[in-house]
Structure 1
Amino acid sequence: MLTIKDRAGTYSEQIRNFLVSNFYVSDVKALMNDTSLLDQGIVDSTGVLEIIGFIEETFGIIVEDSELLPENLDSIQGIEQYIIRKMN
């Protein structure tokens, strides 16, 4: 069974791959885990909905309206930590 650290690494790679495949990321190497996706213009409000769809479909998680917060959805790290919390 994977540890939380191992799962986090796996989740962050899945999230990064989704972002790079579905959004314009000018410099993939500069996309750090704590980079704000909104501030950097990588996603907009419609993009947030796409991220929610990705989370729900990929991880089987229902994203509640009350969880639509920047700390949950605005960075790879935030998304990863949100997924880990929801899956525990």
Structure 2
Amino acid sequence: MDTKVRDDVVQFIISNYLFGDTGRVPADGDSLMEGGVIDSTGILELIEFLESHFGIEVSESETVPQNLDTIANLTQFVTAKKTVEELSA
């Protein structure tokens, strides 16, 4: 797992959804939606963050829980996207 990607995602979640409450950060495998951390509008904000911060493009078909619903999935998704985009550059 890319620690830098994970840390950046966690910091974004803390700042934007938990209002600085580090005690409420879910475990890496916990659902952000089911845990009430993020809602459908929050997903859109999260996608904007991923695209601008990591320089990746998230297609509509990629906006699924397997990619965006846990910290672990987000980290894996971003790391894989960055690798693919770097290889094709």
Q: 2:17 aligns with which of 23, 33, 49?
A: 23
Corresponding residue pairs, total: 82
Task: State the distance in 2 between where 1:55 and 1:30 align.
Answer: 18
| Stretches (4+) displaced over 4 A | none
TM-score norm. by structure 2 comes to 0.84
Indicate if the aligned counterparts of 1:20 and 1:28 stay in contact, CA closer than 8 A.
Answer: no
Alignment RMSD (CA, Å): 1.6
Q: How high is the sequence identity, in percent, across the aligned residues? A: 34
Give structure 1 stretches of 5+ with no counterpart: none
TM-score norm. by structure 1 comes to 0.85
> Would you say 1:73 and 2:52 are equivalent positions?
no
Indicate if the aligned counterparts of 2:33 and 2:39 stay in contact, CA closer than 8 A.
Answer: yes
Give structure 2 stretches of 5+ with no counterpart: 84-89
CA deviations over 1:5-44 (Å, ceiling 9, x no partner): 4xx1111111000000000276636521111000000000
